[in-house]
Chain A
């Protein structure tokens, strides 16, 4: 006598050889069991075929690499991994941005002068930083805490600028609607406000810049020309 569970286990290839042979013999000897085996094979194939549509319509998987760049944890982070915000589904960018936002929320709780803000789910430069990124040349630092480091283009042609202020350093790239934050890091102890950090002394920021940059950083003349062209 073959019970249902054993029968299905046989059908699914889950029985050991001895049991499988016994069930196979019983099924072969019974038109009823043979029919049942056919029915359930068809059912399983039909289910798989129905759900295969879901797989075929799957877009690209969300990517999370970007969120790693804002991990404030103490553990070592492996740099030099492509952090693509481009081409990822918008929700992925939003999720990563929100993850950034949460970190920032914890890091900058009650801080009125945070350099960044969440805009429609995306992490963007807040007003003072936004203005510095828009108008400041690295060669002409302001009196305020914000310093501009490198300016360069990424692989898709966007202009990106690294920056640092009293507590953070990061990288922002110019989108049509403003400066989008690509990475944000706590300023290292003793380096707060040191403009050189923005030029690469923060190793994680340096790694992100290295990942993002296509070609060489702008020289002063290119930086000035880019400012005059509205960072397009």
Chain B
């Protein structure tokens, strides 16, 4: 693995974003920190599989997302978080009042948690992390059309839950 020694520096550059992504996926800060650390560890162990010349952040986020799904599965909680599509739609009509106040982290995390898993990860990657649709589709191993439709549903649901998140900007 010729680029092995650069793992630490690659990770250091992405670490704050990896933590942010983990916080967007996980239910609470403790789970999020565990997730980020687990993802970093797994990435380190499989760094020889990283293709030099490709995006390290995408690769790392993919590992993070896979780790999260594994965690959910191992905790047998996935069913509760993978609402069927019809139910997912109804999240948009959740009676939590929209607010004009700025979104704080707790509120944002809480709203993210109310999204079905497959919408949450798309929202996290595109709206929070700023990945493009194609990169997101590659990270999630899903067609772009699927990413696009999940994103649309997810952000509509978030708008219902959070309002615009700050009229001042």
| Interface residue ranges, A against B (CB under 8 Å) | 4-5, 8-9, 12, 14, 38-40, 42-56, 58, 60-65, 67-68, 75, 77-78, 81, 91, 95, 99
Contacts and interface: CB of A to CB of B under 8 A. Distances in A.
18 contacts: A5-B152, A14-B132, A40-B155, A42-B165, A42-B166, A42-B167, A42-B169, A45-B166, A50-B105, A50-B107, A51-B20, A58-B16, A61-B12, A61-B14, A61-B40, A64-B40, A64-B44, A68-B5
B11 interface: yes
Do most interface residues of chain B lie in helix, strand or loop, or is the interface mixed?
helix
Contact of A60 (B7, B12, B163): B12
Contacts of A77: 4
B152 A4 contact: yes
A220 to B, nearest CB: 35
A60 B12 CA distance: 7
Nearest to A9: B148
B16 to A, nearest CB: 4
A4 to B, nearest CB: 4
Contacts of B152: 4-5, 8
A229 to B, nearest CB: 34
Contacts of A95: 37, 41
B165 A47 contact: yes
B143 to A, nearest CB: 12
B11 to A, nearest CB: 5
A8 B152 CA distance: 7
Interface in B112-169: 123, 126-128, 132-133, 145, 148-149, 151-152, 155-156, 158-159, 162-167, 169
Given A9-B133, A49-B166, A40 B159 contact: yes
Contacts, number: 130
B86 interface: no
Contacts of A64: 7-8, 11, 40-41, 44
A62 B44 CA distance: 10
Contacts of A38: 164
A30 B45 CA distance: 53
A165 to B, nearest CB: 28
A61 B8 contact: yes
Contacts of B149: 5
B151 A8 contact: yes
Interface of B: 1, 4-5, 7-8, 11-12, 14-17, 19-20, 23-24, 32, 37, 40-41, 44-45, 102-105, 107-108, 123, 126-128, 132-133, 145, 148-149, 151-152, 155-156, 158-159, 162-167, 169
B162 A49 contact: no
Given A58-B16, A61-B11, A67-B44, A51 B148 contact: no
A39 B4 CA distance: 45
A50 B169 CA distance: 13
A46 B123 CA distance: 13
B126 A12 contact: yes
Contacts of B102: 46, 49-50
Contact of B20 (A8, A55, A68): A55
Contacts of A51: 20, 23-24, 105, 108, 128
A75 B16 contact: no
B107 A65 contact: no
Q: By CB atoms of chain A within 10 A, which of B44, B123, B132, B133 has the most?
A: B44
Nearest to B134: A14
Give the 7 A-B CB pairs with smallest separation, nearest first.
A46-B165, A61-B15, A42-B164, A50-B108, A55-B16, A58-B16, A81-B5
